[in-house]
Amino acid sequence: MVDLSAPISVQATLGRRGTRPDAFWRGLAIPAAIVIVWTATVHLGLVESRLLVPLERIVALPFFDEAGRHLWLGLGASIVRMIGGFTLGAFLGIALGLLLGMSRTAERAVGPSFHALRQIALFAWIPLLTAWFGNGDGSKIVYIVLSAFFPAALHTHEGLRTIPLHYFEVARVMRFTWWQRVTRLLLPGALPSIFIGIQIALITAWIGTVGSEYAMGIGRGIGSFLAEGREQFRMDVVLLGVLVLALVGYAINLACGRLFGRLLHWQGDTR
């Protein structure tokens, strides 16, 4: 399983502004092939329709089916939960990352515990959270906070650690005050990595939102929508939920990449 909290290079994640337009169309090749094979398989009767439903039925589901129309309320509830949990988790994560990166004492005291806790699989927290907070929104929000907290903290910390040493020598020669070191050296130097952490934290918060709703199936949400479809053996509902989950995740990743690429325009083309 891929560790989404592990550091990722800025060049590999941000600054796709130089990508050629035809790359978008090349990226559609595999989805288009899947749609063609899916449609042919269903309409030729090669697979039982209850297992693999027609795509047109999935597209029409949220508009013309009573069960499918629950998607809109579920999606709204999931996005609200994600925003709340992500905001708190990213804020706490960035604050801890700055503390660990700027204070050797804090890194020695807190760093080992932080790195030990981040090795725990997120789903392993669910029994503990439900025991403490129940199956309501409280435990879901805490789970989303944890999902966003670790990547934000880790990438902020790594961003500060990877600032070249000669920058500090220049700051010493220029006789920067502590505040000037923070505002002119540490934060600008770590900003690309912090943005990476925010982007990954958003993605993991979305995954955590759906996972918590699916595992703690009380209340509305995309995860609960998927769980209901599974219990009713409505493959159209399940596939619609999976499709929406993927589209929202892709939209988050695309929006963050473009936004942060513009904010970091001073780095030039980082392809």
- Give 271's pLDDT tier (boundaries 50, 70, 90): very low
pLDDT tens-digit map of 9-20:
444 444 444 455
Q: What percent of the chain stands above pLDDT 90?
A: 19
- Give 267's pLDDT tier (boundaries 50, 70, 90): low
Q: How much is the mean pLDDT over the chain?
A: 81
Residue count of the chain, please give it.
Answer: 271
Higher pLDDT, 23 or 81: 81
**Contact (CB, 8 A) for 15 and 267:** yes
pLDDT tens-digit map of 155-213:
999 888 887 777 777 777 777 777 877 777 788 888 888 999 999 999 999 999 998 88
For each of the domains in the chain, give its residue range(s) and CATH number, in order of start. 11-267 (1.10.3720.10)
Per-residue burial over 60-78, b = 16 or more CB atoms within 10 Å of its CB, e = otherwise: ebbeebebbebbeebbebb
pLDDT tens-digit map of 57-111:
888 888 887 777 888 888 899 999 999 999 999 999 999 998 888 888 888 888 8
**Contact (CB, 8 A) for 237 and 229:** yes
Which amino acid does the sequence have at 56? E
The Cα–Cα gap between 139 and 144 comes to 9
DSSP per residue, 238-269: HHHHHHHHHHHHHHHHHHHHHHHHHHTGGG--
The whole model's pTM is what? 0.79
Mean pLDDT of 1-5: 46
Q: What percent of the chain stands above pLDDT 70?
A: 86
